[in-house]
Chains A and B, each alone.
Chain A
Amino acid sequence: MEKKLSLPLTKEDALDLRIGDYCFLTGEMYVARDAAHKRLFELIEKGEALPIEIEGETVYYMGPSPAREGRPIGSAGPTTAGRMDKYTPTLLDMGLRAMIGKGKRTPEVYEAMKKNGAVYFAAIGGAGALLSKCIKRSDIVCYEDLGAEAIRRLYVEDFPVIVVADSQGGVLYKDIE
């Protein structure tokens, strides 16, 4: 099923989505990958405030190539989500509603998604030029020193994704024996 959705996703939207749904997202999302997750997690462990809102938000696991003059961003496809799994259940418990990446997650992440009514989308890996065209604005929010790994805020229009894990425990990726 094809759906057009606005970001931030509502709780109801997240609960309604099912694996295989092909969605076009419009609105704002955060970008964070390995190094940024590590820093956020260190703050959480110390009980300190985070530089970004987590509740109800969407995070895109991505590290773009630099933007040419006059463009908001360079190539901008998803990175492997599994590397963030160590941190993800905590963020889901804090209210993170949607994630965009590629590849399988751990059972702990799927469990935490069920518990919190969250959704995991895949964007097409290696389609960074195409996805870049859907990104209309990109601002660095913090951790600029991390270069391509800084936390960003994006505004996207009709950003194509597919639901690969839903809030009911459904997972689209097959286990291959």
Chain B
Amino acid sequence: MREIDVSVVTEAISEMCISVNHELSEDMRGALTRAKEMETSQTGRQVLDQLNENLKIAGEEMIPICQDTGMAVVFLEVGQEVHFTGGYIEDAVNEGVRKGYTEGYLRKSVVSDPIERKNTGDNTPAVIHYNIVSGDEVRITLAPKGFGSENMSRVFMLKPAQGIEGVKDAILTAVKDAGPNACPPMVVGVGVGGTFEKAAVLAKQALAEPVGSSTDKPQWAADLEKEMLDKVNGLGIGPAGLGGSVTAISVNVKSYATHIAGLPVAVNICCHVNRHITKII
């Protein structure tokens, strides 16, 4: 048994909230730089220049990359040998979000009730996904999600007979509907299989995968990622939706076992401000 004081989790999350909102991961930065070289439209290139300049200003002057600093989504993978001490882990996570969003001058975008809509004032609560894993470590992934793109995400309950073609149609439908609202170039997270909610969680996890890497997945999924990136870019939506050849930076697919009667597909759209950071305690 390894004891971990929950205050360590609070501190880690607070720091992660601040850094993730000011600096994208290296793979995302690289992909945005390469996007400029791949873009064929003049306006598209101009937009990508602005986005790269924006990233530079954000990091140098500590201004959040985007004003929508998101709802904090936290994946907590807890080793079964871990014993948390010093408080309740959920409170500790939320305290980290509260601290990070307050001290980091991040926007508070969370309302306590979806109908009454009163702002909680500190961006809590986070959406927390717990997983018990083997070992004695805690792996925290924080992925704040902006809602311009979240609002354009979809779950499709396909029939098994629709197969891989159905999955492709689902992805294209979601991306077309998202259009300029999702601040393209996008990252498209796709979850295939499981149940209704499992597919959605897979799609969200797919967004946190490094862009352009297709390791550890079935061949059909790796092929689908490549084919759909080409197809999505063929739509011509382009950077900021103003037309161009770079509509998406990456399509990331994750899959899971499913039921004999179903083929759930979730498409979680993310904008170019695809923020995710992982820390292991």
Contact = CB atoms under 8 A, between A and B. Distances in A.
Contact of A65 (B55, B69, B240): B69
B135 interface: no
Given A77-B67, A128-B65, A129-B63, A66 B107 contact: yes
B236 A176 contact: yes
Best-surrounded residue of A124, A147, A172 (most CB of chain B within 10 A): A124
Contact of B243 (A64, A146, A174): A174
Contacts of A146: 119
Given A129-B57, A133-B57, A176 B235 contact: yes
A126 B105 contact: no
Contacts of B242: 122, 162, 164, 172-173
A111 B149 CA distance: 26
Main secondary structure of the interface of B (DSSP, over half): loop
Contact of A129 (B58, B108, B117, B240): B58
Contacts of A76: 67
A3 to B, nearest CB: 15
Contact of A68 (B58, B105, B273): B105
A102 B105 contact: no
B107 A129 contact: no
Interface residues of B, number: 45
A102 B236 contact: no
A22 B66 CA distance: 22
B108 A125 contact: no
A119 to B, nearest CB: 16
B107 A126 contact: no
Given A102-B180, A176-B179, A128 B53 contact: no
A129 B58 CA distance: 5
Contacts of A176: 176, 179, 235-237
B241 interface: yes
A56 interface: no
Nearest to B51: A127
Given A66-B107, A79-B148, A148-B107, A126 B181 contact: no
B179 A62 contact: no
A63 interface: yes
B218 interface: no
A77 B271 CA distance: 13
B240 A122 contact: yes
A173 B241 contact: yes
Contacts, number: 140
Interface string B164-188: 0000000000001001110100000
Contacts of A95: none
Main secondary structure of the interface of A (DSSP, over half): loop
Interface string A105-147: 0000000000000000010111111101100000000000011
Best-surrounded residue of B64, B117, B235 (most CB of chain A within 10 A): B64
A67 to B, nearest CB: 7
A125 B148 CA distance: 9
A162 B243 CA distance: 13
A100 to B, nearest CB: 13
B61 interface: yes
Given A149-B119, A172-B243, 4 more contacts: A66-B107, A126-B271, A126-B272, A132-B63
Interface of A: 20, 22, 35, 62-68, 74-77, 79-80, 82, 102-104, 122, 124-130, 132-133, 146-149, 160, 162, 164, 172-174, 176
27 contacts: A63-B67, A63-B107, A64-B67, A74-B63, A75-B65, A75-B107, A80-B151, A80-B181, A102-B181, A103-B148, A103-B180, A104-B179, A122-B241, A124-B240, A125-B183, A127-B50, A127-B54, A128-B54, A128-B64, A129-B65, A146-B119, A148-B108, A172-B243, A173-B179, A173-B242, A174-B237, A176-B176
Interface of B: 43, 46-47, 50-51, 53-55, 57-58, 61-69, 105-109, 117, 119, 121, 146, 148, 151, 176, 179-181, 183, 235-237, 240-243, 271-273
4 closest pairs, A vs B, by CB? A125-B183, A75-B67, A75-B64, A103-B181
